[in-house]
Structure 1
């Protein structure tokens, strides 16, 4: 499997985009992989949109996913300069400012556009050491290949189970910690419920705890598709120390607001096949105030 990935990574990107289109056709029209789940997520998020528009978003989501998967493979074999030409970080000075103040920064992103390129490009662009939290892949050889590629671009992949240990071990060093924070928390872990995409949604409280422990800034990282194979990245500060006792919900709320705004601006770029709503909100959970959409 690793050899196959290395061979694919050597292909020109236009060829991989063609393969990505065929992957879209197979996943969406033939296998119908997670289509009912994604269609239901879109219907719940956009009940007022015409069904034809939701179907267009659904198709575009699968088409973008096919392209992104093959782009990710190309990225594993690319050099840093080639990747930096395709992923532009518009305002890297936000992170540079944190490092100049000898302060760590927590970078919260989502499953938008090509999040794998985002992680690779962050390591190539930014001047601060970056620890990337990830869940190890089941195939050990593939997992080692992906970790090797991420390290080559300057990022340090950390398995999610070891993350807190690494944070405590390196707490005195100014570093960036990158997380895809739109994952669904396990049912038994602490979480905060937010009205998000028209549904009560669970969000992690972990970033707040890490920010408080490190006295770190928290930024939201938004990726925007400019055209096929090219992306812009914007970094927005959503929290800075000192933190009060309510920092957890405040950070989660700020992240959810920014993520929702990004999704609403370009719905097809989010991963609608992700089962974000695995379980309902408990009846005894405090109901968050409804927010007006921008």
Structure 2
């Protein structure tokens, strides 16, 4: 069944990938109508998340954000498919780094860099950074898909620009091995995902709610003596994005644990409040809110 599903889906994605951008976004508009009005994909989850995160908006205003989000959500899917056949020129025109000289400065150092990323705007295309690196490599940390055929497809798409993908369970041994071999690079960690409640070691504030925060990137960087940077990704216009790298300055080992991650989450929250439609509202980011098992009881 896994192979059958793959054989059905892959040709569709490949056909989407060869469409010119004008037709690609016309298709995205049509898919939006199907996903939002007919299928209603995760509409309850999105509405709940928006109500929790943006209570100061009226119901009418949140509905407007919701519709804009689904349009961007469909664009993101189309752009992901387009990655299969996008040219270097096209992707470099559509995803721009505003201060890539900072990356070149970091890659001359004999150590790797952890890049903290959120589910905002075009986070998938950030893997393009590997194309710009001159000395080091780009690595993406991801959660493997159970269907081995779709997992292979995801690796193919996300590795399209030459970056190497590492499964979440393998990241520690792989990073240690590469460090021993002097194989340094930039490791992208999606930081705003919700860890399992039982495995959460830090609870922080996100939109005024106490939620478990993924801190693996920060702790690994501290333990291994690596650099840390934030990736601030913004949507410029439809199909066009920019990324600004914000370095964490000073000796990161002297910074109190979790302050770096909390700082990233505050920056991400500010971005979301400014343009909430570009955040990934379909995942249940607040499902463990106020359920901190170590919190003092009232």
The alignment's TM-score, normalised by the length of structure 1, stands at 0.90
Task: Give 2:275's match in structure 1, choosing from 261, 266, 277.
Answer: 266
1:211 matches 2:221: yes
1:180 matches 2:187: no
- Matched with 1:33 is 41
Distance 1:191 1:21 in 2: 41
**How many pairs align?**
285
CA shift for structure 1 position 76: 2.1
CA shift for structure 1 position 177: 0.3
Query: Matched residue of 2:50: which SS?
Result: helix
1:222 matches 2:229: no
Question: Are 2:209 and 2:290, in contact at CA under 8 Å, matched by a contact in 1?
Answer: no
- Matched with 1:103 is 111
**Structure 1 runs not aligned, ≥5 long:** 288-294
Root-mean-square deviation (CA, aligned residues, Å) is 1.8
Question: Are 1:181 and 1:204, in contact at CA under 8 Å, matched by a contact in 2?
Answer: yes
Seen in structure 2, the aligned counterparts of structure 1 residues 242 and 30 have a Cα distance that, compared at 3 Å, is closer
4+ residue runs over 6 A deviation:
none
Seen in structure 2, the aligned counterparts of structure 1 residues 226 and 254 have a Cα distance that, compared at 3 Å, is same
Seen in structure 2, the aligned counterparts of structure 1 residues 33 and 151 have a Cα distance that, compared at 3 Å, is closer
CA shift for structure 1 position 184: 0.5
Question: Are 2:210 and 2:292, in contact at CA under 8 Å, matched by a contact in 1?
Answer: no
Distance 2:266 2:241 in 1: 21
Q: Pairwise mapping of residues 55-134 of structure 1 onto structure 2 (< 5 A)?
A: 55-119=63-127, 121-127=128-134, 128-134=136-142
Distance 1:50 1:95 in 2: 42
Question: Are 1:95 and 1:105, in contact at CA under 8 Å, matched by a contact in 2?
Answer: no
- Matched with 2:28 is 20
Question: Are 1:196 and 1:256, in contact at CA under 8 Å, matched by a contact in 2?
Answer: yes
- Matched with 1:291 is none
Distance 1:195 1:173 in 2: 36
Seen in structure 2, the aligned counterparts of structure 1 residues 190 and 3 have a Cα distance that, compared at 3 Å, is same
CA shift for structure 1 position 239: 5.1
Query: Matched residue of 2:210: which SS?
Result: strand
**Structure 2 runs not aligned, ≥5 long:** 1-8
Distance 1:136 1:32 in 2: 26
The alignment's TM-score, normalised by the length of structure 2, stands at 0.89
